């Protein structure tokens, strides 16, 4: 039985993992129930038997008290948003990782075996496309986007899946903060002789994903809008390509790497492995909800958004025989079921489009 700390352990991914791990470990969770994700405490899902401490992760005295007894850390607490609150990304994502290692460094006895970081495919930024057998960076310019030219190089370009060995070129503050986190973890873990494992998730889906945080993405946006009988916004022309992974597969991956030497000092992509057009995803949701409402397409775009983002998951498969077992249809069904169970909270969720347009992170092309 190990003592495991999950920071942000009452969030979407953390609550599933803490529930799985508490069956055979002591699980400590530090979570500050951040307002953006959990505006209503009565709605928070808290797995039974975990040892929950409500606190900001940047709490030195708490970390000094807790870390001496911890064997493994999953660092999930993170600020995720499309708004331009830059300093919050640094405070929550970069400072937190640094502080944990600073305190680990001062401990008399070294107990921690593995530090696991939840990173993101957003560290890859625009990635690359293939055209006429040549690879190009899929960089796009704002002027083109404002004129509704959505491709990077040419309409015939094909996306290339991100590999763990790609050079990281994040294009937004969240991705940048994840890259900093990764660098801090690698550097400090080496200095302190602690094993690290970094998992770069694609878009994770399933029950308990906050329907209050605008960062929660396409699945939440479509499903909550259609249930409220509103037209959801699909950015650009709906032909952007994304890679989705079910929460159960993510939990499995997190359990496989736990205390596993093969995962020490390694980085793995954890994704669905194949790309889906946003419009195709929307069709599945519409069919599932049996709605005739249409989305608003080809009007808004998000600045600093890649056109394509799909991760290559061969490495995780090669090392652990892990592969996604739950397809997007199932993720959509699971999310719908969960939203219906909590429908009374749905009316409290607000559309954040206006704020994003005002702050300039979403552009209205009309
Ligand atoms: N969900 C995804 O699709 C996805 C994709 C890529 C990476 N990730 C990463 O995975 C991790 C977990 O994501 P999630 O989807 O579960 O997010 P989430 O927002 O549902 O959960 C994050 C939790 O961290 C807590 N938290 C935030 N700041 C904190 C702080 N300063 N101190 C203590 N607690 C704090 C929040 O209250 C929340 O419960 C994050 O690091 C995220 O960047 C998630």
CATH of the domain at 57: 3.40.50.720
Q: Is the CB of 11 under 6 A from ligand 1?
A: yes
What is the atom index within ligand 1 of the atom nearest the CA of 77?
24
What is the atom index within ligand 1 of the atom nearest the CA of 119?
7
Tens-digit pLDDT profile for residues 83-119: 788 999 999 999 999 999 999 999 988 899 999 999 9
Structural domain contains residue 45: yes
Q: d(Cα 93, Cα 72) in Å, to the nearest integer?
A: 19
> Which one of 76, 96, 247, 306 would you pick to mutate in the ligand 1 pocket, going by the greatest count of ligand atoms within 8 A of its CB?
76
**Structurally, how many domains does the chain consist of?**
1
Ligand 1 atom 26, closest CA: 77
> Which one of 9, 12, 210 would you pick to mutate in the ligand 1 pocket, going by the greatest count of ligand atoms within 8 A of its CB?
12
Q: Out of 3-12, 22-31, 132-141, 354-363, which region has the weakest mean confidence (pLDDT)?
A: 354-363
Q: Name 362's bridge partners.
A: 302
Has residue 213 got a pLDDT over 80?
Answer: no
**290: burial class by Cβ within 10 Å (0-12, 13-18, 19+)?**
exposed
Q: Is the CB of 13 under 6 A from ligand 1?
A: yes
pLDDT at 357: 87
Structural domain contains residue 23: yes
Tokens matching residue 211: 């329907």
Structural domain contains residue 68: yes
Mean pLDDT, all residues of the chain: 94
Q: d(Cα 171, Cα 271) in Å, to the nearest integer?
A: 20
Structural domain contains residue 347: yes
Q: Which residue has the tokens 């625009």?
A: 126
Q: Determine the structural domain holding residue 298 and report its residue range.
A: 3-360
pLDDT at 214: 66
Structural domain contains residue 257: yes
Whole-model pTM: value is 0.97
Alpha helices in the chain (DSSP H): 12-21, 60-66, 86-89, 96-106, 142-146, 173-192, 218-227, 247-257, 278-289, 314-320, 328-341, 343-346, 353-359
CA dihedral 180, 183, 184, 190 (to 10 degrees): 180
Structural domain contains residue 365: no
Structural domain contains residue 241: yes
Structural domain contains residue 366: no
Contact 84, 55 (CB under 8 A): no
Sequence-distant (6+) residues with CB within 8 A of 261 are: none
């Amino acid at each position: 039985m190990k003592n495991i700390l999950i920071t942000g352990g009452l969030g979407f991914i953390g609550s599933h993992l803490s529930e799985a791990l508490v069956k055979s470990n002591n699980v400590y969770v530090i979570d500050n129930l951040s307002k953006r994700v959990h505006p209503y405490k009565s709605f928070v899902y808290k797995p039974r038997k975990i040892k929950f401490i409500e606190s900001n992760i940047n709490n030195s005295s708490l970390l000094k008290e807790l870390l001496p007894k911890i064997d493994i850390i999953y660092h999930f607490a993170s600020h995720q948003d499309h708004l331009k609150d830059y300093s919050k990304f640094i405070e929550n994502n970069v400072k937190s990782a640094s502080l944990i290692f600073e305190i680990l460094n001062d401990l008399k006895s070294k107990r921690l075996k593995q530090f696991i970081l939840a990173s993101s495919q957003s560290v890859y930024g625009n990635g690359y496309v293939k055209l006429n057998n040549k690879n190009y960076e899929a960089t796009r310019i704002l002027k083109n986007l404002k004129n509704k030219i959505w491709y990077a190089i040419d309409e015939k370009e094909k996306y290339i899946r991100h590999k763990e060995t790609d050079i990281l070129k994040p294009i937004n503050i969240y991705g940048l903060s994840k890259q900093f986190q990764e660098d801090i973890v690698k550097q400090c873990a080496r200095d302190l002789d602690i094993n690290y494992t970094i998992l770069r998730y694609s878009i994770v889906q399933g029950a308990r994903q906050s329907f209050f945080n605008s960062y929660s993405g396409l699945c939440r946006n479509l499903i909550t809008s259609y249930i409220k009988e509103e037209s959801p916004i699909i950015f650009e022309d709906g032909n952007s390509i994304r890679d989705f992974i079910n929460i159960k597969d993510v939990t499995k991956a997190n359990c496989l790497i736990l205390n596993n030497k093969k995962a020490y000092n390694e980085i793995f992509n954890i994704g669905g492995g194949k790309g889906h057009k946003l419009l195709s995803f929307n069709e599945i949701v519409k069919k599932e909800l049996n709605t005739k409402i249409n989305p608003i397409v080809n009007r808004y775009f998000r600045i600093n958004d890649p056109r394509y983002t799909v991760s290559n998951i061969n490495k995780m498969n090669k090392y652990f025989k892990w592969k996604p077992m739950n397809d997007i249809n199932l993720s959509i069904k699971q999310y719908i079921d969960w939203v219906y169970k909590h429908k009374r909270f749905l009316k409290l969720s607000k559309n954040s489009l206006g704020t994003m347009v005002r702050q300039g992170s979403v552009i209205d092309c009309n």
